[in-house]
């Protein structure tokens, strides 16, 4: 389901690498960038001809139409503000979860229980940027190992801009999953850790489209 829209992945932590690996398997070309350029270059060698390593985050953003910000929650809003002009008119994808590890194991939210990272980021979004909450409902292991299953597993997503659906559906399909649009960013809390549609929340597992319809 390839399109000519260019994708950039900013940050190559566990989630970023999982998404990149899936796109490479479907031969969807993409751009990668991060603060440590040498590390990005070293990691990117595993994806062969599918990947282009941008010389900087700014260069990656300027080249791409869809930008996946695979970086910690606290870094997303500052990065968006710093690159607001370059991001204007583009689709920004937020897979973040506003959590921190607990000393005894597990995680805690670093925002209020009733808040979501997606809505907080969306509330301060500069004009002209289309924000999508996606690629954050599964842990990195499931995001990698669950891709291209038959029948395909679902990746839920949300955005206040319904115009993104074609591009996001194509991207999620190329990443090996079945896309399912929920509606606006008010659904973000359901998609984040502890949420009703997260692997580490009430849902507790990956699901197919048929299974997803029973929990919506």
What share of the chain has pLDDT > 90, as a percent? 95
What is the reported pLDDT for 158?
Answer: 98
Calculate mean pLDDT across residues 88-92: 98
Does position 67 have pLDDT exceeding 70, yes or no? yes
Does position 23 have pLDDT exceeding 70, yes or no? yes
Q: What DSSP letter does each residue of 178-210 carry, written as one string?
A: EEEE--SGGGHHHHSTTSTTSTTTTS-S--BHH
Calculate mean pLDDT across residues 51-72: 98
What is the reported pLDDT for 2?
Answer: 67
Beta bridge partners of 66: 7, 91
- Nearest residue to 154 (alpha-carbon basis) of 128, 127, 132, 181: 181
The domains of the chain, with CATH numbers, are 7-213 (3.40.50.720)
- 51-53 and 30-33: which strand pairing? parallel
List own/partner pairs for 41-48 with CB under 8 A and 24 or more apart.
43/12, 43/17, 44/12, 44/20, 46/21, 47/20, 47/21, 48/24
Q: Return the sign of the alpha-carbon dihedral for residues 53, 77, 204, 149.
A: negative
What is the reported pLDDT for 1?
Answer: 58
Angstrom CA distances, 115 to 98, 107, 157, 168, stand at 9, 16, 17, 24
What share of the chain has pLDDT > 70, as a percent? 99
The residue behind tokens 């398997």 is 25
Does position 4 have pLDDT exceeding 90, yes or no? no
Count of CB atoms situated within 10 Å of the CB of 50: 16
Predicted confidence band of residue 3 (pLDDT cuts 50, 70, 90): confident
pLDDT in tens, 150-184: 999 999 999 999 999 999 999 999 999 999 999 99
Does position 100 have pLDDT exceeding 80, yes or no? yes
């Amino acid at each position: 389901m390839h399109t000519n829209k260019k994708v950039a992945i900013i940050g190559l932590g566990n989630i970023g690498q999982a998404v990149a690996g899936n796109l490479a398997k479907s031969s969807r070309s993409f751009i990668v960038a991060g603060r440590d350029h040498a590390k990005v270059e070293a990691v990117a060698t595993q994806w062969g001809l599918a990947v282009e390593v941008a010389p900087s985050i700014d260069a990656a953003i300027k080249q791409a139409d869809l930008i996946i910000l695979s970086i910690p929650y606290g870094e997303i809003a500052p990065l968006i503000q710093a690159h607001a002009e370059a991001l204007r008119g583009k689709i920004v994808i937020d897979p973040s979860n506003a959590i921190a590890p607990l000393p005894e194991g597990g995680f805690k939210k670093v925002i209020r229980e009733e808040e979501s990272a997606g809505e907080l980021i969306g509330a301060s979004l500069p004009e002209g940027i289309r924000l999508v909450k996606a690629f954050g409902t599964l842990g990195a292991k499931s995001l990698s190992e669950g891709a291209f299953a038959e029948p395909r597993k679902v990746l839920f997503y949300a955005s206040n801009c319904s115009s993104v659906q074609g591009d996001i559906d194509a991207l999620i399909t190329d990443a090996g999953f079945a896309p399912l649009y929920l509606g606006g960013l008010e659904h973000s809390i359901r998609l984040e850790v502890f949420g009703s549609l997260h692997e580490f929340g009430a849902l507790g597992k990956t699901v197919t489209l048929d299974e997803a319809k029973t929990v919506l």
